[in-house]
Structure 1
């Protein structure tokens, strides 16, 4: 009887130990799951977007070629005969340059802006427009509707380094640089076979064209080490004015030339999309052209106005 009792106690003790062990495992498993759920909840909270927030609309400065093209293509620019009126909402935050737009959108989850497609990075999110992704391929095919030309312009005839540099840009070598940087090439010319002259020129204008122009200058100077090219970044209107005044050899514009600039000779060097961007926390994925217009004219006040 004593042996049986001792054996029974040993079995019971072992059972208690095993139950405790299972309880411990269950506790750890529950804790881990709880931790995962907490983490997931946190992630969900981070990605959740409050559509009752007021739209924080970011636009470019007057004179920006990107703004000129954007308002015209989206219908924010109202035309009445020869009269044109930019109806961008009065409470829009106006900033100078592409990077300033990205910075503002990145730092505000209720913000929306627009930038050159070639300047897009992972710090912000590009929206589809009319169910079409903002990509170079869709710009080239014409499916993505918010696109514009990158133009260079000059007064009179080009010579020396200026002419040779333009020949390089339009050659297959220069167009390869443009494609590599995420823009759409426009020329099917042969490879560069220039004279590589010595000299200095100045290229000035659009902050949207400037990034790809910088890459073109770098590539050209590797071929023609005798050339010196100064790049001055401002906006399209300033670039065209500098070309007209002769204070730069080549002006840059991220739009078509205006009637007041027709004394210049213009050449399209690339095509570019204008990406409509939002904060990465914003759950919006697609807008129609009418919704983009409503946002920028002030018809839409809060995000729920366009996410219904």
Structure 2
């Protein structure tokens, strides 16, 4: 009996120790989780995220925010060398969504709730504000073809994009459509067509390709995503039947191609959802991207 009593006491002590350790472990886990979540600290450095050279979004962004300056008669992109470079819209969004102290920029039409768009100069980033002129950070979506192109599918697809039906797709995807268009009256030719270029235009173009397939199942349209400069140079070289650019055509591009604005899009300046910053001025955005401002508390001052 004495032996059994001692054994019972030992079992109770061990169980008590185990319970205490489990409770401590749970407490440590909760504390670690809370510490990991933490509070957003404005004293931290800003992680600046930009797009690659050749990106139409980068070209439009740097021009609209004055990050491009004239040096010895040439426009020079003054984006800080400290900026992280991403090569497409989705990577930009993922980078900002995973870093509480990051700032970036994307096509407004690509915006989702994984990140937060800032108001700029007092205007919210929205299609409505682009249309009424209060949100001024906008640019055209251009497509371009060679003037001597004989691709019937490319020509018919272009006519669909610029039709009432095509522009309804543009509006449904959150972009500003082109006015004064007419109903599609194409001939639905058979054949192949390659469309390629800007990763900002690509999501809209994908929807246009899907809608066109419903009215012309005889056509096979291949969509390739790269960047605006590749879109224009490839259209000039003939590897793309239709090139896409999320900016105005450059003079040398316009000399070789016929450009058509298919929509107007805004550029959204984005931050992490945990960032309490809701708005900035154009000058503040420029100061960040030219390396004049390093930490978030400098913006709050």
TM range (shorter): 0.7 to 0.9
Matches of residues 52-201 of structure 1 in structure 2 within 5 Å?
Answer: 52-80=43-71, 82-158=73-149, 159-201=151-193
Displacement of 1:190 after TM fit?
1.3
TM-score w.r.t. the length of structure 2 is: 0.86
Match of 2:231 among 220, 239, 242: 239
- Deviations 1:199-220 (CA, angstroms, capped at 9, x unpaired): 1100010000000000000000
Displacement of 1:81 after TM fit?
6.8
TM-score w.r.t. the length of structure 1 is: 0.84
- Deviations 1:66-89 (CA, angstroms, capped at 9, x unpaired): 000000000000024741110001
Is the Cα–Cα contact under 8 Å of residues 169 and 175 in structure 1 kept in the other structure?
Answer: yes
Q: For 1:251 and 1:272, locate their aligned partners in 2 and report how far apart those are by CA, in whole Å.
A: 17
Displacement of 1:193 after TM fit?
1.2
Q: For 2:234 and 2:121, locate their aligned partners in 1 and report how far apart those are by CA, in whole Å.
A: 37
Matches of residues 256-271 of structure 1 in structure 2 within 5 Å?
Answer: 256-262=248-254, 263-271=256-264
- Deviations 1:39-82 (CA, angstroms, capped at 9, x unpaired): xxx6xx95842100100000000000000000000000002474
Displacement of 1:129 after TM fit?
0.3
* Residue range with higher mean Cα deviation, 191-200 or 205-214: 191-200
Q: For 1:157 and 1:212, locate their aligned partners in 2 and report how far apart those are by CA, in whole Å.
A: 26
Is the Cα–Cα contact under 8 Å of residues 155 and 244 in structure 1 kept in the other structure?
Answer: yes
Residue 150 to residue 81, structure 1, CA distance change in 2 (3 Å): farther
Displacement of 1:302 after TM fit?
0.3
Q: For 1:187 and 1:297, locate their aligned partners in 2 and report how far apart those are by CA, in whole Å.
A: 37
Is the Cα–Cα contact under 8 Å of residues 172 and 187 in structure 1 kept in the other structure?
Answer: no
- Largest Rg, 1 or 2: 1
- Deviations 1:181-230 (CA, angstroms, capped at 9, x unpaired): 01110132111111111111000100000000000000000110001000
* Residue range with higher mean Cα deviation, 283-292 or 255-264: 255-264
Q: For 1:74 and 1:268, locate their aligned partners in 2 and report how far apart those are by CA, in whole Å.
A: 22
**Map of 1:6 onto structure 2:** none
1:221 corresponds to 2:213 = yes
Q: For 1:217 and 1:51, locate their aligned partners in 2 and report how far apart those are by CA, in whole Å.
A: 44
User: Root-mean-square deviation (CA), in Å?
Assistant: 1.9
- Deviations 1:137-167 (CA, angstroms, capped at 9, x unpaired): 1111221111100000111244411111111
Q: For 2:130 and 2:73, locate their aligned partners in 1 and report how far apart those are by CA, in whole Å.
A: 29
List alignment gaps of at least 5 residues for structure 2: 1-29
Matches of residues 6-21 of structure 1 in structure 2 within 5 Å?
Answer: none
List alignment gaps of at least 5 residues for structure 1: 1-37
Q: How many residues are paired up?
A: 269
Is the Cα–Cα contact under 8 Å of residues 171 and 188 in structure 1 kept in the other structure?
Answer: no
